[in-house]
Amino acid sequence: MASGVTVNDEVIRVFNDMKVRKSSTQEEVRKRKKAVLFCLSEDRKKIIVEEGKQILVGDIGETVEDPYGCFVKLLPPNDCRYALYDATYETKESKKEDLVFIFWAPESAPLKSKMIYASSKDAIKKKFTGIKHEWQVNGLDDIQDRRTLAEKLGGNVVVSLEGKPL
């Protein structure tokens, strides 16, 4: 069931910036988003970029030591969100980077919020072409352990996530 919610152009621009890894200057790389949250506008008619809920590549090693742990802390404990996380991981064969689309719907979120986010998910997913990994998360227990994300990315072949061995 579609909700009639539309996706703000800024959301699409953020996705395209995260997806395309063109060779950029060091400064452009630092400004690239590592993670970003999307929420519904106050009138619940549009999916928008949530203000201040992002991690930039340039923050890592400066204000952010553990990008994955920091990302998990951005998620609101009692409401739903959509998120993009640019995961850097290694398998036994190679280093990889993949965007992960996350639908955060904690058990403690209001039922109405869960329903509108669930029924609007297709609207945002349709705009995010080429996403290989999608993950619905229903609580901190599901997302806190980085091994769960590693499993989503490549099962048991992933040996490290964000430079940290698993």
Model confidence over 43-61: pLDDT tens digits? 999 999 999 999 999 999 9
CATH code of 42's domain: 3.40.20.10
Domain count, the chain: 1
- End-to-end Cα, the chain, rounded Å: 39
Q: 109-161, pLDDT tens digit by residue?
A: 999 999 999 999 999 999 999 999 999 999 999 999 899 999 999 888 999 99
The answer to whether residue 1 is domain-embedded is no
Measured CA to CA in angstroms, residue 137 lies from 60, 82, 96 at distances of 24, 10, 23
- pLDDT over 70 at 9, yes or no: yes
The answer to whether residue 94 is domain-embedded is yes
The answer to whether residue 37 is domain-embedded is yes
The answer to whether residue 135 is domain-embedded is yes
Could you tell me which of 77, 140, 144 has the C-alpha nearest to residue 113? Answer: 77
Q: How far apart are CA 140 and CA 149, in angstroms?
A: 12
Containing domain of residue 118, as a range? 6-165
pTM comes to 0.93
Q: How far apart are CA 96 and CA 80, in angstroms?
A: 28
| pLDDT band per the 50, 70, 90 thresholds, residue 99 | very high
| pLDDT band per the 50, 70, 90 thresholds, residue 2 | low
Phi, psi of 132 (to 5 degrees): -90, -25
- pLDDT over 60 at 1, yes or no: no
The answer to whether residue 47 is domain-embedded is yes
Q: How far apart are CA 119 and CA 139, in angstroms?
A: 19
Could you tell me which of 38, 134, 140 has the C-alpha nearest to residue 82? Answer: 38
The answer to whether residue 41 is domain-embedded is yes
Q: How far apart are CA 122 and CA 112, in angstroms?
A: 17
Mean pLDDT across the chain: 93
